[in-house]
Amino acid sequence: MTPARTRADARVRLRSGDVWRFLTNVPLVLGASGILAMGVIALFGPQLAPSDPHAQRVVIFYPDGTFASPPTPPDRYNPLGTDPIGRDQLSRLLWGARLTVTIILLGLLGRGLLALLLGVLAGWRSHTWIDEAIRHVTNAVGGVPQLMLALLLVIALQDHGVIGFVLALALVGWADLARFVRSEVIRIADAPHVHAARALGANGAHVVRTHVLRDLTPQLLGLLAIEAGSVLLLLAELGFIGMFISGGVFFTSDSGAPVLPVRDRAPEWGQMLAGARNYAFSHQYVAFVPGLVVVGAVLAFNLFAEGLRAASDPFGSRRVSPRTLGRVVRALALAGVVACLAFAYLAVRSTSLSFSEGLGRAQDTVAQAFPGGKLVAAVVRLSSSSHALAQPERLTYYFVGDGSQLFRVSFLDGDANAIDAKLFANEDDLVVDALHPLDTAGIVDWEVALRLAEDRVGSRFRSQAPSYRVRVLLTHEVGADRPSYRVQYTGNVGAPVVEVRVDALTGGPGVAPTRQP
């Protein structure tokens, strides 16, 4: 046998041995399967859901003629039961997986990047002023219980919706990870191969990139898997006390209005746990179904971390070669980052609608439910009691049919999931006979009209009034040669309505604003 053949055989034996050790690493296989299942559910949850996760029912009528009031226990129609307002729990779990996984991944990415950056910097420059400064910052952030800090951050960032929530989850918990990275970097920096690389003249950045980070990755990935479970636990705990993504059922002002934005139409596992305590004794499935799902997911992350630890333990029976482990771990890290970006794109895309996207969806709905309907008005409403203060409270599109009937399609919070379509005889201040069908080609964005209006009347309503409503109404009135926006401000009860008219084609001033008492 030639030496070359022997080396090739050894490589093959090593690889097959590593594969076998991976496959017989029970925690790793169980954890990886759990995480994979979670990923599949997050990707295809909406397709797998047996019913509409948003459909609320006061009374649930079953096909066999019986009926019940929610919450109902698991049965063959609702395999995991229904929640207190009659929504199917299985469908909500399947739909909610995407937003939950997205939040976990983004929170984890934030924590990981912060910890890696500061930990590597502190470890590589250990016992210098940089190390000392970073140590003070990590001690300060790690000096408040995670839940408390997360609560404060969520409230402080309440106007930023999902991004604010992700930031709150990312800005807590990274301190312990950074401390670990620092100590590992100090250990690796003292290893013979790192000394050799530096003796050969490699610069610091090169050594950190090719040696320190490479050696750090397996342990870091294991720790990140535990951290993913920790992010989910924090998400669940926040949800349990009534604070969930872009919302909170617990935090209300004296007048009963939510202090935090509430958007429970976007199902998420933490949100499903909100109010669970009230049903723990009477309707256990309401509390324990989402609770068990969270436990299962955290367990999967922990098992995966446990398996990785066993695979990298040089004295363990399930160890794999460092080269194979390094490759697998790097592939997993890359897959994690790709998944993070993909889910972020999917989750953001799936719920938030722009004005034109809303119009497209409204027109699709009209084509099915109100054929021949023509668009006559569109309204963007912003309000102090809005569920997401920086976002429209409602996007509404009005269509008129042959018999002057109005068909209204609206999206609460500009949320694609919160579509509401109704037929009206008439509506508030819309006089159908006084409106031309609306051609939206070439019109400027409603935000341009709002900005112009705010420049003219001042933004005092949106920034200072404790209670306000702003309507941006797009119509083409009879007698006018072009469509126009009317921006209407309403302050407290009894305060005057201020209206500013803006040309919808140029974005310039329209007819002079009229003031009403």
Partner 1 sequence: MRPQTTLVALRALSAFVLTSLLVVWLCDLTLSGAQLGGLGIGVLLRGVDPFRGQTLLEATAVSVARSGALLATALAVATAVGIAAGAAYAFSSRRIVRAAAWSVGTVGVSLPSFFWAMLLQLLIVFVYARTETRILPTAGFGLDDHLVLPAVALAARPAAYVFRTTATALENVRHGDYVRTAHAKGLPASHVARSHVLPNAAPAILSGVVLGGRIALSSLAIIEYVFSWNGAGFAFIHALANGRTAFAALVALVFALLFAVLTFGTDALSNRLEARR
Select the span of 1-9, 185-193, 285-293, 477-485 touching partner 1 (CB under 8 A): 285-293
**Are the CB atoms for 240 and 246 separated by under 8 Å?**
no
156, 335, 337, 338: residue in contact with partner 1 (rule CB under 8 A): 156
CA 276/CA 283 separation, integer angstroms? 9
Select the span of 35-43, 132-140, 199-207, 323-331 touching partner 1 (CB under 8 A): 132-140
148, 331, 334, 478: residue in contact with partner 1 (rule CB under 8 A): 148
Polymer length of the chain = 517
What binding mask, one character per residue, do residues 311-350 give for partner 1 by CB under 8 A, x or -?
Answer: ----x-----------------------------------
* Phi (first) and psi of residue 171, to 5 degrees: -85, -5
CA 217/CA 51 separation, integer angstroms? 42
Select the span of 57-65, 177-185, 251-259, 501-509 touching partner 1 (CB under 8 A): 251-259
143 counts as binding partner 1 under rule CB under 8 A: yes
- Its sign, for the CA torsion 306, 308, 312, 316, is positive
291, 336, 392, 510: residue in contact with partner 1 (rule CB under 8 A): 291
Rounded to the nearest whole angstrom, what is the least distance from the CB of residue 133 to partner 1 in the complex?
10
What is the residue-wise DSSP string for 274-295?
Answer: TTGGGGTTT-HHHHHHHHHHHH
What binding mask, one character per residue, do residues 465-494 give for partner 1 by CB under 8 A, x or -?
Answer: -x----------------------------
Q: Rounded to whole angstroms, what are the CA distances from 155 to 352, 462, 497?
A: 21, 19, 31
The residue to which tokens 């309401």 are assigned: 286
433: Cα separation from own chain's centroid: 43
Compute the half-sphere exposure of residue 29: CA atoms within 13 Å on the CB side of its CA. Answer: 9
Select the span of 122-130, 131-139, 184-192, 400-408 touching partner 1 (CB under 8 A): 131-139
DSSP three-state, residue 70: coil
CA 446/CA 388 separation, integer angstroms? 18
Nearer Cβ to partner 1 (308/500): 308
Rounded to the nearest whole angstrom, what is the least distance from the CB of residue 24 to partner 1 in the complex?
14
Nearer Cβ to partner 1 (293/406): 293
Nearest-5° angle of CA 429, CA 407, CA 391?
70
What binding mask, one character per residue, do residues 6-45 give for partner 1 by CB under 8 A, x or -?
Answer: ---------------------x------------------
CA 480/CA 457 separation, integer angstroms? 24
The residue to which tokens 């080269």 are assigned: 323
Bridge partners of residue 474, in order along the sequence: 378, 485
251, 269, 343, 446: residue in contact with partner 1 (rule CB under 8 A): 251
Q: Which of residues 221-250 bind partner 1 (CB under 8 A)?
A: 229, 233, 236-237, 240-241, 250
Rounded to the nearest whole angstrom, what is the least distance from the CB of residue 235 to partner 1 in the complex?
10
Nearer Cβ to partner 1 (174/240): 240
384: Cα separation from own chain's centroid: 23
259 counts as binding partner 1 under rule CB under 8 A: yes
Helix or strand (DSSP H, E) at 423: strand 419-424
Q: Which residues sit at the interface with partner 1, rule CB under 8 A?
A: 27, 135-137, 139-149, 151-153, 155-156, 229, 233, 236-237, 240-241, 250-254, 259, 273, 276-277, 280-281, 284, 287-288, 291, 294-295, 298-299, 302-303, 306, 315, 464, 466
